[in-house]
Amino acid sequence: MSREKTIFTRIIEGELPCHKLFEDEYVIAFLDIQPLARGHTLVVPKESAPSMDKLSAESASALGRSLPSLCRAVMRATGATAYNLLQNNGREAGMSVPHVHIHIIPRYPDSTHSFLWGPGEIDHSEASKLAEAISATMD
Ligand code: 5GP
């Protein structure tokens, strides 16, 4: 199935410019063009998978491997006091570019953005069945 190239594939292929922080065989990282905070970074596997469940283990490993060092570098260079990692999958989940990416969003003492949600209440009997069901369908 052929899909139209995403903006991120066009950046990876050098067709569109970006403020690049890092690149290796599998991963590229660059600054978000509409940052929620100074230093807002996108970490993008070069493989064009539309969501995390479609990403190969090889690209996922490389993506995970790049994160600690990128997070340290963003923190050091910006002086941020904390950061959030955010990863949306699917339009309904807020994904606007259908190409896997992880946001590194620095937080500063005067930051006001929020990712907090009201905690729900677990039903342990349903949760135990659900955990089993999810575990049984893993490939
Ligand atoms: P999503 O909403 O899919 O999780 O995040 C997509 C992110 O990509 C957004 O934060 C948006 O600002 C960023 N973005 C969209 N187009 C471009 C672009 O052309 N260049 C860069 N650097 N970031 C982009």
What are the residue ranges spanned by the domains of the chain? 7-136
CATH label, 7-136, candidates 1.10.3720.10, 3.30.420.40, 3.30.428.10, 3.40.228.10: 3.30.428.10
Q: Are 86 and 49 in contact (CB under 8 A)?
A: no
pLDDT at 1 over 90: no
101 is catalytic: yes
| CA pair distance 42, 35, nearest whole angstrom | 10
Maximum pairwise Cα distance, the chain: 52
In this structure, what token pair is assigned to residue 25?
């065989």
Those residues whose C-beta lies under 8 Å from the C-beta of residue 115, and which sit 6 or more positions away, are 84, 86
Q: What's the pLDDT at 55?
A: 98
Q: Is 118 in the pocket of ligand 1 (CB under 6 A)?
A: no
Q: What would the pLDDT profile of 26-82 be if each residue is shown by its tens digit?
A: 999 999 999 999 999 999 999 999 999 999 999 999 999 999 999 999 999 999 999
CA–centroid distance, 58 to ligand 1, in Å, is 24
Sequence letter at residue 76: R
Q: Is 66 in the pocket of ligand 1 (CB under 6 A)?
A: no
Predicted TM-score (pTM) of this structure = 0.96
Sequence letter at residue 82: A
Strand partners for 105: 84
Q: What would the pLDDT profile of 92-137 be if each residue is shown by its tens digit?
A: 999 999 999 999 999 999 999 998 899 999 999 999 999 999 999 9
Dihedral sign for Cα atoms in the order 81, 40, 43, 135: positive
